Amino acid sequence: MKFDKPAGINPIDQLKVIGKPTDRIEGPLKTTGTAKYAYEHNQEVTNPAYGYIVGSAIAKGMITRIDQSAAKAAPGVLAIVTAANAGPLQAGKFYVSRFLAGPQIDHYHQAVAVVVAETFEQARYAGSLLKIDYKKSKGSFDLDALKDSAQTPPPAQFGPPAQTMIGDFEGAFKTAQVKMDETYSTPDQAHAMMEPHATIAKWEGDKLTCWCSIQQMNWGVRDLAIILGIPKENIRLIASYIGGGFGGKGTVLADLVAASLAARVAGRPVKLALQRPLMFNNTIHRPKTIQRIRIGADPDGKITAIGHESWSGNLQGGRTEPATASTRILYAGANRLTRLKLAVLDLAEGNAMRAPGEAPGMMALEIAMDEMAEKLSMDPVAFRIKNDSQEDPEKPGRKFSTRKLVECLQTGAEKFGWNSRNAKPGSIKEGQWLIGMGVASAVRGAPVTKSAARVRLNSSGIITVETDMTDLGTGTYTIIAQTAAEMMGVGLDKVVVKLGDSSFPESAGSGGQWGAASSTSGVYAACVKLREAVANRLGLDADKAQFADGRVRAGDRSFALGDAAKNAELVAQDEMTYGELSKEYAQTTFGAHFVEVAVHAYTFEIRVRRMLAVCHAGRILNPKAARSQVIGAMTMGVGAALMEEMVVDKNIGFFVNHDLAGYEVPVHADIPYQEVILLEDIDPTMSPMKAKGIGELGLCGVASAVANAVYNATGIRVRDYPITLDKLLKNNV
């Protein structure tokens, strides 16, 4: 099915199942511990061996010798895989990392060997017996030192162009009557998902099956085939449940490669999980940015010039962090400039982390908007509303499909009690605590992409949906079940959903905020075909047939849905593809975040007291799941604002705090009650579902809303994240 014109009325609009705050259908499995994650497929793989990755002890250089004698003689050891016996390995299409070093070392904790033994403990012990000699070479680990020599990156598959220029930014900024020019920085951050990267690999002849934890099954099959040099038809990946990813499990990483190699060399199925201390330097992360933002405006608050430049680092050939994405589309302004620069660093690869580009970019942009509002003596909400645009600022005449940023800001301001905020920083005090409020806009693109599904109907009226779409805990199982139930006129108890198997039809996968809108559209397309097949089997006019309450009706004829499959199961498969509507309309999600903090007047300890998100993301398929996504994102935003930072040892070249003891993330005590308002809306230009994604929108802008609240409380502006009490103390003059 091709979607190439705005959607009209269709079965989804009945809203009997879609749009209801439905509990997760897989919830009982997760709460009883019976949902199987990658490392837990013990019935499917009996008598496995265990793999253990040994990571490089240097950040840059060469391996000169690996003495395996003691490790090979250790109890239970079956095999040791190194570059010497792994065979040729290529890089995949999405990541540039080499997943097995040798002889060259590209970054600290890059895998140099995989030890395979009868038990995990034996593999770990044998790994400690490997004697590895290195020859170190000089590496580059400091973005600040390389900023001036950073280069313009080549065009990337994802993210904004390296440079955009509209009008005469430099001239307009120079002559602006009111202007600001500030530099901000965001640190390296870790995904820190609960489930580690884990794989069980099993070879049967030249066929490889892996139970793994990745978000994009299609990318995974493609990349693993390239890396191992085997036909992708010989690979089957299974990821029934994923314990968090946030972009950090996009496609193939070291665990999948290492387990596959180990199983081939050992001649046994192999289970392998990355130990937590290895994950931070071995896998991908959100890279540090340095961002310069310049804004010029008229005295009445109209922006006349807006410029955003960002520097980040990566391995040779890696992508830049696309931090300028939001600035291109969020606010009006005739004269515009964005620019990205990339430095080569010898740290673990920087790549996608929840809302890549927008999340770190808005950590800077939305502080800058507050700083500019203060220069103009304007309320920060009013300043943002003043510079709203109902058409793409870079392409005048290209309308937004839907855009309710102003309504988000106004609704949030009224609900949060914004009118009680004192514009003068440090004015409100409760005992020894300074109280402040902050606001930030939110924006995130709303892409949709090709997605397919297969649906089956049996004689009992049970609908089974099969697609390789994944569920990271986001509620995918449930919204796909809701879609099939709505389309086929049955209750959720009559729908079975099977996900995360690359042998199923290829879906959009989870990532980029495209998963929900795209995967449900693929199910919609397959259900349209199934409805036609049912009507034809029953001798009904497919255009007039009505599906409701487990029955199919046309005129005065009525049948139980299952009657269509009495003699044989009915199977339908289709995919949703898209025309040019995304070029005709700017398709984006919008929101607003409001935060209240308390900062201790003497210690500068920060406590978040209240949070509100107002989100505009088309039709909300499941309000309960959507709220869950948003409050999780808001929590992540608090972490980014106040605590998350991977600290780089610039001499040795590694992230020092590479575990959950040293890398701080928010806990329950850090997070107050979070309120979420989902604005009612549909977007017929997106798909027949008229929905958009929301999971990343809930993060964009949160950190800067916290930062702006801290400033309002204290009068101290911190432009280098995270905002910690030492920075407040240092600037308390």
Enter the tokens of residue 185.
């920085």
2-33+448-582 and 38-137+199-282 in the same fold: no
Element (H, E) at 362: helix 358-375
- The CA R_g of the chain, rounded to the nearest whole Å, is 27
60 and 653 in contact (C-beta within 8 Å)? yes
**Tens-place pLDDT, residues 35-52:** 999 999 999 999 999 999
Element (H, E) at 339: strand 335-344
**Tens-place pLDDT, residues 178-202:** 999 999 999 999 999 999 999 999 9
Dihedral, CA of residue 529, residue 535, residue 541 and residue 545, to nearest 10: -90
In whole angstroms, what separates CA 43 from the centre of its chain? Answer: 31
* In the chain, where the domains are located: 2-33+448-582, 38-137+199-282, 386-446+587-733
**Tens-place pLDDT, residues 389-429:** 999 999 999 999 999 999 999 999 999 999 999 999 999 99
Enter the tokens of residue 611.
């949070």
Between β-strands 588-600 and 606-616, what pairing exists: parallel, antiparallel or unpaired? antiparallel
**Tens-place pLDDT, residues 214-232:** 999 999 999 999 999 999 9
Q: How many Å apart are CA 50 and CA 114, to the nearest integer?
A: 10
pLDDT of res. 26: 97
* Average pLDDT of the residues in 93-117: 97
257 and 89 in contact (C-beta within 8 Å)? yes
Sign of CA dihedral 458, 460, 462, 466: negative
Buried b (16+ CB within 10 A) or exposed e, 86-115: beebeebebbbbbbbbbbebbbbbbbbbbb
Give the pLDDT band of residue 728 (cuts 50, 70, 90).
very high
Q: How many Å apart are CA 186 and CA 707, to the nearest integer?
A: 12
pLDDT of res. 59: 98
Q: What percent of the chain has pLDDT over 90?
A: 98
* Average pLDDT of the residues in 424-450: 98
* Average pLDDT of the residues in 85-105: 96
Q: Is 461 helix (H, G, I), strand (E, B) or coil?
A: coil
Q: Is 338 helix (H, G, I), strand (E, B) or coil?
A: strand
DSSP for residue 538:
H
Q: How many Å apart are CA 79 and CA 253, to the nearest integer?
A: 21
**Tens-place pLDDT, residues 282-303:** 999 999 999 999 999 999 999 9
Cα distances (Å, whole numbers) of residue 153 to 51, 113, 310, 512, 578 = 37, 32, 12, 21, 29
pLDDT of res. 157: 76
In CATH terms, is domain 2-33+448-582 a member of 1.20.1250.20? no
592 and 677 in contact (C-beta within 8 Å)? no
Average pLDDT, the chain: 97
Residue 675 has pLDDT above 90, yes or no: yes
Q: Is the peptide bond before 623 cis (omega within 30 degrees of 0)?
A: no
- Burial status of residue 138 (CB atoms within 10 A of its CB: 0-12, 13-18, 19 or more): exposed
Q: Is the peptide bond before 672 cis (omega within 30 degrees of 0)?
A: no
Cα distances (Å, whole numbers) of residue 11 to 359, 467, 532 = 36, 21, 13
Give the pLDDT band of residue 733 (cuts 50, 70, 90).
low
Level-2 CATH architecture, domain 38-137+199-282: Alpha-Beta Complex (3.90)
Which residues are within 8 A (CB) of 333 and not within 5 positions of it... i.e. 6 or more apart? 303, 304, 305, 306, 387, 393
Q: Give all strands (DSSP E) within 58-160, no chain letters.
A: 61-67, 77-81, 104-105, 111-117, 131-136
User: Is 349 in the active site?
Assistant: no
* Average pLDDT of the residues in 91-96: 95
Q: How many other C-beta atoms can be found within 10 angstroms of the C-beta atom of residue 315?
A: 20
CATH topology of domain 386-446+587-733: Aldehyde Oxidoreductase; domain 4 (3.30.365)
Phi, psi of 501 (to 5 degrees): -135, 120
Element (H, E) at 518: helix 515-538
Cα distances (Å, whole numbers) of residue 160 to 154, 290, 547 = 11, 17, 44
Q: How many Å apart are CA 497 and CA 501, to the nearest integer?
A: 12
Give the pLDDT band of residue 133 (cuts 50, 70, 90).
very high
Give the pLDDT band of residue 731 (cuts 50, 70, 90).
confident
Q: How many other C-beta atoms can be found within 10 angstroms of the C-beta atom of residue 725?
A: 14
Give the pLDDT band of residue 254 (cuts 50, 70, 90).
very high
Q: Which of 309, 321, 675, 696 is catalytic?
A: 696
pLDDT of res. 719: 98
Q: What percent of the chain has pLDDT over 70?
A: 100
* Average pLDDT of the residues in 318-329: 97
Amino acid code (one letter) for 668: H
Q: How many Å apart are CA 161 and CA 164, to the nearest integer?
A: 7
